[in-house]
A and B are shown apart, each in its own frame.
Chain A
Amino acid sequence: MTDASLAELARGVVALARPGEQVEVYAARSSSTTVRVYEGEVESLTSGQNQGIGVRVVADGRQGFASAGLLDEDAVREALHDARANATFAEVDPCVGLAEPDGLPLPVLDLADVAAVRDLPEQAKIDVATDLEARTRGADPRIASVRTTIWGDGWGEVAIASTTGIDVGSEGASCSVAVSPIARDGDETQIGFAGDGARRPSELDVDRVVSDAVERATGMLGATKPGSQRLTVVLDRPVVAAFVGIVAGMLTGGQVVKGRSPFADRLGEQIAAEALTLLDDPTDVRSLGATEHDGEGLATRPNTLITHGVLGAFLYDTYSARRGGVVSTASAVRGYGSVPVSGAQALQLAPGALSQDELVAEVGEGFFVDSVSGLHSGVNPVSGDFSVGVTGRRIRGGVLGEPHREATIASTLQRMLLDVVLVGGDLEWRPGGTGAVSLAIADVSLSGS
């Protein structure tokens, strides 16, 4: 079936629905290439096709799901069969059911430039990666080698169809570069990392990737363990992107309706500093997370989660919205291998007025965090406990001072939101799709020696 249109394939399965049965099909097909370069030579060149289908069946208040990483007819029929069988073992839940079209037309966004990525010659991709490695090596005499330099790209399409009248499709394409240089000084070695992603090759900012990666590697040379104390931290934008991603996860309908969010009962209350406004806007094309429809085929729309510190909304998919007695905010996220869940798609913080330098100057004394580790193990989105490994620099007299590593910062997410004292104006769109600005947060525990 590889030549059939994806939409026809999806509709064909939906047409097999039995009376009284809801069927939804999410089908995807994509191609990708990855080039890894090492010491001026191609280390590996990978290409491949990915495809798959996810089938959701709802019958008598029970939901079942099955997926296949294949689009041939047998696999697709088997998935439908398995989804039906799975539904019979689920317990009745009056809130399960597929998304219903809500009348909002899909936004028209200039998102995919499939040809720009697909038609780029292989050699051009190799050249970008080779050039990135060479420039990174040459940028500073302390760069001893480069662990990996990667070019990646992909393009593909998605189709969603259902018995409730959903019938949408979309295309996507993107490319990315990343480099991790190793800096050496005497016996000491430190590694840096930087990358960028874009919809078109011409939009990749290779210059910035080189300077970021080199600065991160060389900047850590001579880093020591700081003393333990409470202080104000400034989180650089990649760190903020990770931080707001976790916060947004706590503001999803799925967590709220199941009693797993500490913010569940706090709509309309001040949960963050007044300077903080957080949106999830998949219609903003500056974000690589922008999309015309969510994972259930509903038109995306901007959702403001926190306005000047006040909790204004949660992000819902269809199921969690029914449980919560509200309507979907078109925030269903998924791949073909899983049922949709509520989640953020294109977060952004409303920028303040200060540049990062001005923000550091304003803080005066503190700690600048340029990377975090252990986010998946050290942050508990249910309790809000927050404890992560950090590297960064001391802030002294309003400027960045000596580098530090092997330290942690700790607080709770609830307190950190309220303890935001300054919001940067240095908006940066991260490869993960989040629009992040630097944040200064007061009264955080720094643990070291």
Chain B
Amino acid sequence: MLLDADLLTATLDAALATGGEFAEVFVEDRRTQSAVLDDGRVEELNTSRTRGAGIRVVTGETTGFAHTADLSPEGLRRAAVAAASVARSGSPRGPLSVGDGTEHDSGALVLPETVDKAGKVELLRRADAAAREAGSAIQQVTARYNEGRRRIQIATSDGINTGDDQVRTLFAVSAVARGDTGLQTGRENVGRTVGFELFDQVDVAQIAAKAAHRALLKLEARPAPSGTVPVVIGRGGGGILFHEACGHGLEADLVAKGASVFAGRVGERVASPLVTLVDDGTMDGEWGRISVDDEGHAARRNVLIQDGELTEYMWDRLRARAAGRASSGNGRRQSYRHLPMVRMTNTYVLGGTEDPDEIVAETPYGVYVAELGGGQVNTTNGDFVFGTLEAYLIEDGRIGAPLRDANLIGNGPEVLANIDALGNDFAMGMPGTCGKDGQGVPVGDGQPTLRVTALTVGGTAT
């Protein structure tokens, strides 16, 4: 554990000295190592270290929060007093005692920090060579290796004292191809909540070849259509659709403020009966995997939509308490400098029964998206957008010409209702960073091949 129980007890006492009802100390120690190969050269290795604590005091509906990098008893006490400034009139809550906590094991088989840097650099060189071998039009390759180890500890006046050791490893390649139509790009990322054993599971040369293939493909690509068409999304390539189309709208903080189209709709049909949507922080190895959330609650598998019916929102401590229920293990934060809020972990749609090839064959005209890019949603009205990294035209039930980059736009509730085919080929997708109110956290997503009967494609072809 990062801090001992006596120091935590003293800090919580100071935090509650002016009448606060709840206090929490969140401690974080994070180390990262990255290495980048760009332009044919290993150009940058970067090591970082941060460490600090954020102290939260809740009184009524008000939260006080102060963070510090000074973990000495005096540094923590000062932060506790600052956080307690929101509670001015009450009397101290009296003595409390934090027991000895336990830190959850990272589960990493090979801690990346124990691997020689030369081995990491070698991965980059292999990726560079593989991407360049993919075609002479590949003009530029960037390969990035990232490892991160985030140890956290959460102690609260409710008696929680727990910790987590989160180890994540990521490898990303982006390629630029030059052709008659100018420059085109492709990228591919693989990231898992595992240690250096990631590279026993995946081949960096294949990651690089995929990135290069995407760039080369787009040299031949046609402008995407402009207008509303059926869209088929390939397995693991479009979990972000659900992350944006409804995931954010099922976060209890947005629901409570009337800023979600899904507010007040538990028990109602909100999606096609084919759709069962789950948020699951317990999925071993996945990018959004955690043992406990950043409020010390155990990660859980939460079914949000069952056979098209809205069953549950996602909750952090604050919202759960206001609703008189338990947290769902979705209280997360970017760092010790941030307050927790309701966030997703790994969000996915369960597989269906159809043959994915049949889904394409039964689509006379439309767009096939092998990989969606990032997205954004307006939770209040449900409108969302996302980009495409690899997409094709579907003509006469066959995947045809590749398409240039275009955003897709839709409305969450409408799209959920318009899913009319779900494949039996579930897969998780690329690692993501979800942004909300300026905070980024790692998330995963997944889905089988599926078809949406109508999405607006923002291309230029008419």
A residues within 8 Å of B by Cβ?
Answer: 2, 38, 41-52, 63-71, 75, 78-79, 82-83, 85-87, 89-91, 93, 96, 122, 144-145, 147-148, 182, 184, 188-191, 220, 225, 228, 230, 258-260, 262, 337-339, 373-374, 376-378, 380, 382-385, 387-389, 405-411, 445-449
**Cβ of B220 < 8 Å from any Cβ of A?**
no
In the assembled complex, how far is the CB of residue A43 from the closest CB belonging to chain B, in whole angstroms? 7
B383 in contact with A406 (CB, 8 Å): yes
Name which of A220, A338, A406 has the most chain B CB atoms within 10 A of its CB: A406
Encode B142-161 as 1/0 by CB contact (under 8 A) with A.
00000000000000000000
Which B residues touch A148, using CB under 8 A? 257, 437
Which B residues touch A189, using CB under 8 A? 258-259, 261, 380-381
A46 in contact with B65 (CB, 8 Å): yes
8 Å CB contact of A385 from B41, B65, B227, B406: B406
Which B residues touch A144, using CB under 8 A? 258
In the assembled complex, how far is the CB of residue B128 from the closest CB belonging to chain A, in whole angstroms? 11
**Cβ of B45 < 8 Å from any Cβ of A?**
yes
A91 in contact with B383 (CB, 8 Å): no
With A65-B44, A228-B227 as contacts: A47 and B66 at CB distance below 8 Å: yes
- Tally the A-B contacts, defined by beta carbons under 8 Å: 269
**Cβ of B449 < 8 Å from any Cβ of A?**
no
In the assembled complex, how far is the CB of residue B236 from the closest CB belonging to chain A, in whole angstroms? 17
B381 in contact with A259 (CB, 8 Å): no
Segment from B8-16, B18-26, B49-57, B343-351 that makes contact with A: B49-57
A380 in contact with B405 (CB, 8 Å): yes
8 Å CB contact of B62 from A41, A262, A373, A376: A41
Question: For the complex, what is the distance from the CA of A299 to the CA of B105, rounded to whole Å?
Answer: 49
8 Å CB contact of A44 from B49, B64, B259, B385: B64
With A189-B380, A191-B380 as contacts: A411 and B63 at CB distance below 8 Å: no
Question: For the complex, what is the distance from the CA of A51 to the CA of B70, rounded to whole Å?
Answer: 10
B residues within 8 Å of A by Cβ?
Answer: 35, 38-39, 41-52, 54, 60-70, 79, 82, 85-86, 117-118, 121, 139-140, 176, 178, 182-185, 218, 224, 226-228, 254, 257-259, 261, 337, 339, 373-376, 378, 380-381, 383-387, 404-407, 409-411, 437, 456-460, 462
With A43-B61, A46-B65, A410-B406 as contacts: A258 and B51 at CB distance below 8 Å: no
Question: For the complex, what is the distance from the CA of A188 to the CA of B378, rounded to whole Å?
Answer: 13
Question: For the complex, what is the distance from the CA of A93 to the CA of B64, rounded to whole Å?
Answer: 49
A70 in contact with B185 (CB, 8 Å): no
Question: For the complex, what is the distance from the CA of A101 to the CA of B44, rounded to whole Å?
Answer: 24
Q: Chain B interface mostly helix, strand, loop or mixed?
A: strand
8 Å CB contact of B380 from A79, A182, A260: A182
- Chain A to chain B contacts (Cβ below 8 Å), 19 pairs: A41-B61, A45-B86, A46-B64, A47-B82, A50-B337, A65-B47, A93-B43, A145-B258, A189-B259, A189-B380, A373-B383, A374-B386, A377-B373, A377-B376, A383-B185, A383-B218, A408-B409, A445-B459, A445-B462
Which B residues touch A449, using CB under 8 A? 227-228, 456
In the assembled complex, how far is the CB of residue A393 from the closest CB belonging to chain B, in whole angstroms? 16
Which A residues touch B69, using CB under 8 A? 49-51, 69-71
With A48-B337, A373-B385, A406-B456 as contacts: A259 and B178 at CB distance below 8 Å: yes
8 Å CB contact of A43 from B62, B386, B456: B62
Name which of B62, B183, B254 has the most chain A CB atoms within 10 A of its CB: B183
Question: For the complex, what is the distance from the CA of A41 to the CA of B410, rounded to whole Å?
Answer: 36
Which A residues touch B457, using CB under 8 A? 408, 447
Which 10 pairs, one residue from A and one from B, show the smallest C-beta to C-beta distance? A408-B458, A377-B387, A69-B50, A374-B385, A86-B45, A389-B385, A378-B407, A377-B374, A48-B67, A191-B380
Which B residues touch A373, using CB under 8 A? 376, 378, 383, 385
With A44-B63, A86-B45, A144-B258 as contacts: A382 and B184 at CB distance below 8 Å: yes
A42 in contact with B49 (CB, 8 Å): no
- Looking across the interface, which residue of chain B has its beta carbon closest to that of A374? B385
Which B residues touch A376, using CB under 8 A? 374, 376, 387
8 Å CB contact of A447 from B41, B79, B184, B456: B456
Question: For the complex, what is the distance from the CA of A387 to the CA of B456, rounded to whole Å?
Answer: 12
Which A residues touch B79, using CB under 8 A? 48
Name which of A43, A90, A448 has the most chain B CB atoms within 10 A of its CB: A90
B258 in contact with A380 (CB, 8 Å): no
Which A residues touch B254, using CB under 8 A? 147
In the assembled complex, how far is the CB of residue A249 from the closest CB belonging to chain B, in whole angstroms? 14
In the assembled complex, how far is the CB of residue A114 from the closest CB belonging to chain B, in whole angstroms? 19
With A70-B51, A85-B117 as contacts: A90 and B66 at CB distance below 8 Å: no
B49 in contact with A380 (CB, 8 Å): no
Which A residues touch B385, using CB under 8 A? 373-374, 377-378, 388-389, 408
- Looking across the interface, which residue of chain A has its beta carbon closest to that of B414? A406
Which A residues touch B183, using CB under 8 A? 259-260, 262, 382-384
- Looking across the interface, which residue of chain B has its beta carbon closest to that of A48? B67
A374 in contact with B407 (CB, 8 Å): yes
A68 in contact with B381 (CB, 8 Å): no
Besides A44-B62, A70-B69, 8 other CB < 8 A contacts?
A91-B41, A191-B259, A259-B140, A377-B376, A378-B407, A382-B184, A410-B407, A411-B460
Which A residues touch B407, using CB under 8 A? 374, 377-378, 387-389, 408, 410
